[in-house]
Each structure stands twice: as structure tokens, then as C-alpha cells.
Amino acid sequence: MAGAIWVHGETTADGSLARISTEVATLARSLADASGSELVGIVVAADPAQAAGELSKFVPQVLAVTEPATEDHAAGTIVGERLAALVGRDQPAYLFTGAGPEGRDVAGVVSALTGWGVLVNATGVSWNDGPVVEMSVFGGKLTTTSRFTGEEGIVTVRPNVVTAEPAASAGTVEASEAPGDLTLPQVKVVDRVEEAGAAAPIEEARIVVAGGRGVGGEAGFKVVEELAEALGGAVGATRAAVDAGWIPYAQQIGQTGKIVKPQLYLALGISGAIQHKVGMQTAETIVAVNRDPDAPIAEFADLVVIGDLFEIAPALLAELRARPGSG
């Protein structure tokens, strides 16, 4: 039997389990089932109870590690050091975490402290005598399949790779303590600032409505926002729109922004340059509205509407609102 598979349960600001962790846990469970491996969830937080309880719906056993220092310190280094100590003690084979900012901080620290290799940004994982990890590289031009050379390692998983599904029966939560002291320098959080209108993380959204240069300005984003609201989705943007100050950087999709994989990507006034394409091309369905029939996005979208987005978007909004059951 292979060694245990561990799932790192990320917590959100209010102490609940991050959505990405429900997906990672679902994926890891399928691998544990395929390999006959033990499956364990780990939550390290100032108050891990809630997130650990939620994670136990997905995996048979959860270790809840209370770590007061994460209350007012940057969590990544602290959680990473605790996880590395637990890995040293319990000797699992693989650790799975999300490929978002929190998971990356943790994975980077665990990798450095344990010397474990990392397969990153998984878009699919199967099992064949160890995890077999697919990832999309070079702006989506290639899908690579990778493995660990040894029998241990860390996998970071992108959002929306699987649909989260609780296990048939809920697991147990057990309080645990990591051995040793925290020795890495801790970074104090002196303030947590909520920004007005900060939307749900776009990486996790099922539907993303995004605007580019063609939206024309801050006022133009109103229609993008309205469409997102009507579809129950999140608002995204290209770098050009962010650089112009029309929308915050947190909404940027692409090479130096976020990578999203929603069920629907609705692109308004977006030409589809490579730097943007890399952030959204794995969306299941891509619909674009663009004036230019020769825009690059017309080559990889599923559906392209050629025309003026300021005429088409309102018509689309009206059509969506007229649907039975809407609004």
C-alpha cells in the first residue's frame, strides 16, 4: 500500500474552509480510492474547528492543529512550517494543496523545508503507481504529464479541476499538535483592509464576464458588471483595462494576473492576445462579443458575436432577464 495522501485545508478570513480545498479534497479522495492509500486532511489555523469540520465531509480523517500565531501573522510561512513538521513526524507520501496564493506560499515553504518536489498547477491528476499530473504550459499550447521521480511530493491544484463532492459518509476530526517550535521569522499583520466591491475570487467563479480595452472606460464596465450579475458570475478584465484604472488588479485575468477555468467565459471587447489567452483558454465554453471578426479570440472562442458590445450587451441583458425564473 502506498503512503498516505494528505490534503491541506485552507481557511478563509472567517475561519471556514476555502472552496479550493473542497475540490482538492475531492480529487485526492479519488486518488486514495484508486491507490488504496490512507487519506488525511490537515487544517492549521488559530481556530481550525470550523474548517476541519467542513473538510471532514470530504475525507475520512482530519487533523485540526490550533496555531494561535496565524491570528495576527501572515499564515503561509507558519502553516508551511507546521505542515513540514507533521510531514516529518507522520511520513505521508503526498501533500495536495490549492494552486492559489495561499497554497503556493504553504507549498513553497514545505518544499524548501522537506526537500520534496512539487508538481504545480495541476489541471488533472490520475493515479498510476503515484500521482500522474497534467498541467497546461506555454499559454495552453501544450499539456504536459508529469510524475515524481521518488515516492513523495507536493501537488498544487488549480481551481475548477473537479467538482467538489462530499464523501458518502463524514469523517472524523482529531485535534493534533505539530512537533517542535516555530523557528521561521513571522510577519505581523498590522491591518486587514476590506476593499469596497471586492468580489468573490474570480478563480473560483463558475461564470466569468470579462471586459477589455473595447469596453472603453470605467463607465463601460457597468454593463460588464450587470451581465455578470444577471448570470450569477464574477467580473474579470484584461491587463489593458486594469492598467487604464477601470477595474482593480484583483480582477485581472492573464499572464500576470489570475488563471481561471470557469464553465462560461463571456469576453466583451477583448481581442484575445496571448497574455490574456493564457489566463482563460481552459474555460469550458468561451463566448466573445467583438467588433473585429479577425480578433485572435475569434480563433479559439466557441461562439463569437460580431458587433458593437454596447448594443449587444444590453440586448443580452434584456434577453437573460426575460427568461422564465430569472430575477
Partner 1 sequence: MRIVVLVKPVPDPAAGSERLGADFRLDRAASPAVVNANDEYALEAALKLVEEHGGEVTVLSMAGSAAPETIRKALAMGAAAGMHVADASLAGSDVVSTTRVLAAALRGLEADLIFAGADTSDGGAGLVPAGVAALLRLPYLSYAAKIEPDPSAGRVKVHRISATGFDVLEAPMPAVIACTQALGAPRYPSLKGIMAARSKSVENASFDGIRAAVGDAAIGGEASATTVVAAEPPPPRAATRVIREAPDEAARQVVAFLAERRII
Residue among 71, 88, 180, 315 that touches partner 1 (CB under 8 A): 315
CB atoms within 10 A of CB 305: 17
Residue among 142, 181, 245, 294 that touches partner 1 (CB under 8 A): 142
Nearer Cβ to partner 1, position 131 or 171?
131
Nearer Cβ to partner 1, position 21 or 156?
156
d(CA 260, CA 159): 7
Task: Provide the pairing of β-strand 131-137 with 124-127.
Answer: antiparallel
Q: Is 201 one of the binding residues for partner 1 (CB under 8 A)?
A: yes
Q: Mark the segment that binds partner 1 (CB under 8 A) among 34-42, 61-69, 173-181, 314-322.
A: 314-322
Nearer Cβ to partner 1, position 62 or 240?
240
Residue among 50, 229, 264, 291 that touches partner 1 (CB under 8 A): 264
Q: Which of residues 51-80 bind partner 1 (CB under 8 A)?
A: 74, 76-77, 80
Say how many residues touch partner 1, by CB under 8 A: 98
Could you give the string, one character per residue 97-136, with x where binding to partner 1 holds by CB under 8 A and - elsewhere?
Answer: ----x--xxxxxx-xxx-xxxxxxx----------x---x
Could you give the string, one character per residue 287-306, with x where binding to partner 1 holds by CB under 8 A and - elsewhere?
Answer: x-----x----xxxxxxxxx
Residue among 13, 129, 181, 294 that touches partner 1 (CB under 8 A): 13
Shortest distance, position 150 Cβ to partner 1, whole Å: 6
Nearer Cβ to partner 1, position 76 or 171?
76
**Contact between 272 and 302 (Cβ < 8 Å):** no
Q: Is 319 one of the binding residues for partner 1 (CB under 8 A)?
A: yes
Q: Is 210 one of the binding residues for partner 1 (CB under 8 A)?
A: no
d(CA 59, CA 38): 10
Q: Is 22 one of the binding residues for partner 1 (CB under 8 A)?
A: no
Q: Is 247 left (phi over 0), alpha (psi -120 to 50) or beta?
A: beta
d(CA 186, CA 67): 13
Q: Is 244 one of the binding residues for partner 1 (CB under 8 A)?
A: no
d(CA 203, CA 258): 7
Residue 49 exposed, middle or buried by CB count within 10 Å (0-12, 13-18, 19+): middle
Nearer Cβ to partner 1, position 169 or 185?
185
Q: Whose CA is closest to 82, among 37, 54, 118, 90? A: 90
**Contact between 94 and 3 (Cβ < 8 Å):** yes
Could you give the C-alpha distances from 174 to 28, 29, 50, 61, 149, in angstroms and in order? 19, 19, 13, 8, 32
Task: Report angle CA 186, 187, 189 to the nearest 5 degrees.
Answer: 130
Q: Is 278 one of the binding residues for partner 1 (CB under 8 A)?
A: yes
Q: Mark the segment that binds partner 1 (CB under 8 A) among 23-31, 37-45, 62-70, 139-147.
A: 139-147
Q: Which of residues 27-56 bind partner 1 (CB under 8 A)?
A: none
Shortest distance, position 242 Cβ to partner 1, whole Å: 8
Q: Whose CA is closest to 29, among 205, 171, 174, 177? A: 171
